[in-house]
């Protein structure tokens, strides 16, 4: 019988529990028992490819794979990489009309000749958020020579990061959020798809990493986008994520979350700020001088999502 006609076995509730514990352990992504179908639909081909006859057998192969390749395939299949250029336009208006002008003013007052601008895209997927920020900076600032710009994108999916690094997008992907004018100014046409022009690609930096691992840099970024990833995590994991992100921000740095996400704080670590109808969070000076690595500063976030948010939805 051809391998691809082999019937996919069902998943018992005990197997689902083991899968969900493992996925949460390696990525933070929380799948409850209602997401059994996701394992079956997204990992069926991996089951066949590895000639596993049960879901437990496949899980054990993934756990024991010293190359890490099966684990990568699991993450690539389970993570939802949905994104688009200039997604939910408001954060980019905020960047253009408030965050970047304020940052430049601050740095100019501090005496910088060549102004550093450091932006971090947490869970950047295939890179559209990173390139949207770069397009916006170019349009806003014109000649970029007076600026030292780096936009860093991090994602746990090596497949997503590989596409982001190449800066190559299909016609369908560029049609989602890019005007024809922006497309011709910032991309070169390929026989199939479009590639970000080198001068803009060079302002981006991509890395495969788990945002929950203790590797995030400290006090390095002016602006962090962390959108549409915390929705896949449970409350405790979200707290950990935002603590790490808060540590990454410089004094007066800003955090932008997704349009349906919000962070409620229990102290003065990150303060909600408003620009027109857009909310963002700003790190106060006091927090940096108090030393944000201290144990007493841990677990100080009470992260929640607005009532219309669909928790932990992965589709």
Ligand X SMILES: C[S@@+](CC[C@H](N)C(=O)[O-])C[C@H]1O[C@@H](n2cnc3c(N)ncnc32)[C@H](O)[C@@H]1O
Q: Does 160 bind ligand X (CB under 6 A)?
A: yes
Q: For the chain, where are the alpha helices, taking DSSP H only?
A: 13-27, 36-49, 55-64, 69-78, 90-94, 100-109, 128-141, 158-166, 171-175, 180-186, 198-201, 235-248, 285-290
- Residue 160 Cβ vs ligand X, minimum distance, rounded to whole Å: 5
Q: How far lies 297's CA from each of 7, 239, 264, 268, 292, in Å?
A: 52, 12, 15, 11, 6
The DSSP annotation for 27-48 comes to H-----GGGHHHHHHHHHHHHH
Q: Does 155 bind ligand X (CB under 6 A)?
A: yes
117 CB contacts (<8 Å, ≥6 apart)? 100, 103, 104, 137, 147, 148, 149, 150, 222
Q: Measured from the CB atom, is 125 or 254 closer to ligand X?
A: 125
Cα separation, 203 vs 153, in Å, equals 11
Q: Does 167 bind ligand X (CB under 6 A)?
A: no
Site string for ligand X, 212-251 (x = CB under 6 A): x--------------xxx--x-------------------
Of positions 43, 58, 156, 270, contacts ligand X by CB under 6 A:
156
Please give the size of the binding site for ligand X, defined by CB under 6 A. Answer: 24
**Which of these ranges, 5-13, 40-48, 118-126, 285-293, lies near ligand X under the rule CB under 6 A?**
118-126
Six-digit token pair at 153? Answer: 């994108």
Q: Measured from the CB atom, is 29 or 245 closer to ligand X?
A: 29
Of positions 81, 219, 260, 284, contacts ligand X by CB under 6 A:
81
Q: Measured from the CB atom, is 30 or 107 closer to ligand X?
A: 30
Six-digit token pair at 50? Answer: 């590895």
Nearest to 214 by CA among 245, 192, 250, 238: 245
Of positions 20, 52, 83, 254, contacts ligand X by CB under 6 A:
83
Q: Measured from the CB atom, is 284 or 309 closer to ligand X?
A: 309
Q: Does 139 bind ligand X (CB under 6 A)?
A: no
Cα separation, 127 vs 163, in Å, equals 8
272 strand-pairing partners: 281
**Which of these ranges, 96-104, 124-132, 177-185, 283-291, lies near ligand X under the rule CB under 6 A?**
124-132
Cα separation, 172 vs 149, in Å, equals 28
Q: Measured from the CB atom, is 114 or 310 closer to ligand X?
A: 310
Q: Does 211 bind ligand X (CB under 6 A)?
A: yes
**Which of these ranges, 95-103, 110-118, 122-130, 245-253, lies near ligand X under the rule CB under 6 A?**
122-130
Of positions 157, 254, 300, 303, contacts ligand X by CB under 6 A:
157
Q: Does 28 bind ligand X (CB under 6 A)?
A: yes
Contacting positions for ligand X (CB under 6 A): 27-29, 79-83, 87, 123-125, 129, 155-157, 160, 210-212, 227-229, 232
């Amino acid at each position: 019988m051809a391998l691809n006609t082999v019937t996919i076995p069902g998943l018992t509730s005990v197997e689902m529990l083991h899968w969900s514990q493992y996925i949460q352990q390696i990525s933070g992504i929380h799948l409850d028992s209602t997401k059994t179908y996701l394992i079956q639909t997204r990992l069926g081909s991996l089951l066949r490819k590895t000639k596993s006859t049960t879901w437990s057998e496949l899980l054990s192969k993934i756990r024991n794979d010293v190359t890490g390749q099966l684990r990568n395939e699991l993450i690539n299949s389970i993570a939802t990489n949905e994104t688009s250029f200039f997604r939910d336009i408001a954060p980019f208006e905020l960047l253009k009309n408030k965050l970047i002008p304020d940052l430049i003013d601050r740095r100019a007052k501090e005496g910088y000749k060549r102004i550093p601008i450091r932006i971090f895209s947490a869970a950047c997927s295939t890179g559209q958020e990173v390139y949207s920020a770069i397009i916006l900076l170019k349009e806003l600032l014109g000649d970029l020579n007076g600026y030292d710009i780096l936009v860093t994108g991090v994602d746990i999916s090596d497949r997503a990061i590989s596409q982001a690094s190449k800066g190559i997008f299909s016609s369908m992907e560029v049609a989602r959020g890019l005007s024809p004018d922006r497309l011709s100014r910032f991309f070169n046409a390929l026989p199939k798809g479009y590639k970000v022009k080198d001068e803009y690609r060079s302002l981006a930096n991509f890395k495969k990493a788990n945002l929950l691992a203790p590797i995030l840099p400290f006090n390095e970024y002016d602006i962090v986008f962390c959108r549409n990833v915390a929705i896949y995590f449970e409350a405790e994991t979200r707290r950990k994520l935002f603590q790490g992100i808060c540590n990454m921000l410089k004094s007066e740095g800003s955090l932008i979350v997704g349009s349906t996400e919000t962070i409620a704080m229990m102290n003065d670590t990150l303060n909600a700020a408003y620009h027109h109808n857009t909310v963002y969070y700003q790190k106060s000076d006091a927090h940096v001088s108090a030393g944000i690595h201290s144990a007493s500063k841990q677990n100080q976030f009470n992260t929640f999502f607005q009532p219309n948010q669909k928790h932990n939805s992965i589709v």
